[in-house]
Amino acid sequence: MSSLASRLAMLRKQAGSTAPQESPLKRLPQVEQAGATVTQASLPGRLARMGNALARPPGEGTALCVGAASAAMGARDLAALRRMAGVRERLIKPPAPTRPHTREVPGEEISPGLRYIEQRFAWNEPPAELDLTFARLTTARREHVLHFDTETTGLAGGTGTRAFMIGAADWHEGALRVRQLYITAMAAESAMLRAFAGWIHGDTVLVSYNGKSYDAPLLATRYRLARMANPLLGLTHVDLLHPMRRRYRQVWENCKMQTAERRLLRIVREDDLPGSEAPRAWLTYLRGGSSADLVRVAEHNLQDVRSLSGLLVAAHGWGVQGVSPDCDEN
């Protein structure tokens, strides 16, 4: 014990302590912590007190000194931990709710990596003969009209962008038939293009929203790269974006499709996955992730082609000039 006291005395001397060796509890400031009296001091002072306590015979305040020093150190550590915990509580946000991880996808697989969905709806049936003068065209038979929309791996277009989903709606046996094709493997793209081409005939009238500038050119590129004939080439194509702009650009806040469907069809989408999120959703599934957002892409695409049908009926008979009397201009 005396050897330890000597070493403590040497450490005290090296630390530059000049305090007299006195009872460790006489001159130390006292702090109340959780109902107990504890002490705080500098390193030289603590060394001096510990040395004095060890030099005394057992039972002369040693336990009190050591216990008080331990309590002081414990109190400071506890306060520091509480401060750190408070910082972490302020910085750490609760995790965002996650959708369930599932690999299930809708539809049936009609060839390796290609899935097909078909649904039918009672939905704003147009007259047998559609007046297309609003689009600076003449007329079209209802059964010849094919509304279509694509979901792609990017919004920039070009040869690096491909369609992974094609939705189409037509009037069949008194109902609006919606058919969707989508691929779950890169190699299935040609099969999807071939299946879509089978839905198109020489008298088909295409209906889209911004399809002349985006969907049709993108599909033309994909057919060319697949060394297949482009089934859209030479067909009548009604792009509803252009007549909407001619009539409502000074009336609506914008002429996006969702604005048009809200104004003309009173449709407000809930929990809709934006088209800009479609590439991420598909690639996530392709890389082994959840299919939850891919299912939402299919729902988004379904509503797109249904709305195309409704917007075409709303525009029927507008003529080249004038605004639809059904328009909500407020």
Chain segment 208-247, per-residue pLDDT in tens: 999 999 999 999 999 999 999 999 999 999 999 999 999 9
Residue 167 and residue 118 in contact, taking contact as beta carbons nearer than 8 Å: no
Indicate whether 100 belongs to any domain.
Answer: no
Residues 50 and 138 in one domain: no
> What was the pLDDT predicted at 2?
60
Per-residue pLDDT averaged across 296-325, rounded?
A: 83
Both tokens of 212, joined, read 């002349």
Residue 157 and residue 295 in contact, taking contact as beta carbons nearer than 8 Å: no
Both tokens of 271, joined, read 């929990």
Residue 234 and residue 206 in contact, taking contact as beta carbons nearer than 8 Å: no
For residue 311, CA distances in Å to 49, 204, 261, 318 come to: 89, 18, 7, 12
Q: How many domains, in total, are found in the chain?
A: 2
33 has a pLDDT exceeding 50? no
187 has a pLDDT exceeding 80? yes
Nearest to 151 by CA among 214, 205, 95: 214
Residue 128 and residue 141 in contact, taking contact as beta carbons nearer than 8 Å: yes
| d(C-alpha 316, C-alpha 311), whole Å | 9
Per-residue pLDDT averaged across 78-90, rounded?
A: 65
Look up the CATH number of the domain holding residue 192: 3.30.420.10
Q: In 123-239, where do the E strands start and end?
A: 129-131, 139-141, 145-152, 163-172, 175-183, 205-208, 236-239
Residues 161 and 290 in one domain: yes
Average pLDDT of the residues of the chain: 81
More confident site: 253 or 23: 253
Indicate whether 202 belongs to any domain.
Answer: yes
Pairing of the two strands 236-239 and 205-208: parallel
99 has a pLDDT exceeding 70? no
Indicate whether 119 belongs to any domain.
Answer: yes
Residues 125 and 245 in one domain: yes
DSSP string, 272-319: PPPGGGHHHHHHHHHTT--SHHHHHHHHHHHHHHHHHHHHHHHHTT--
| d(C-alpha 198, C-alpha 143), whole Å | 16
10 has a pLDDT exceeding 60? yes
Indicate whether 96 belongs to any domain.
Answer: no
Q: Which domain holds residue 78?
A: 2-91
Residues 66 and 188 in one domain: no
Nearest to 167 by CA among 124, 196, 200: 196
Residues 289 and 143 in one domain: yes
Among residues 91, 126, 157, the one where a domain terminates is 91
325 has a pLDDT exceeding 50? no
> What was the pLDDT predicted at 92?
58
More confident site: 28 or 68: 68
5 has a pLDDT exceeding 60? yes
Long-range contacts of the stretch 51-56 (C-beta < 8 A, 24+): 51/5, 51/8, 51/9, 51/12, 51/21, 52/21, 52/22, 52/23, 52/24, 53/24, 54/1, 54/4, 54/5, 54/8, 55/1, 55/2, 55/5
> What was the pLDDT predicted at 216?
97
Indicate whether 330 belongs to any domain.
Answer: no
308 has a pLDDT exceeding 90? yes
CB neighbours (10 Å) of residue 196? 22
Residues 61 and 156 in one domain: no
Residues 296 and 238 in one domain: yes
Nearest to 102 by CA among 328, 296, 317: 296
Query: 67 by DSSP, 3-state: which?
Result: helix
95 has a pLDDT exceeding 80? no
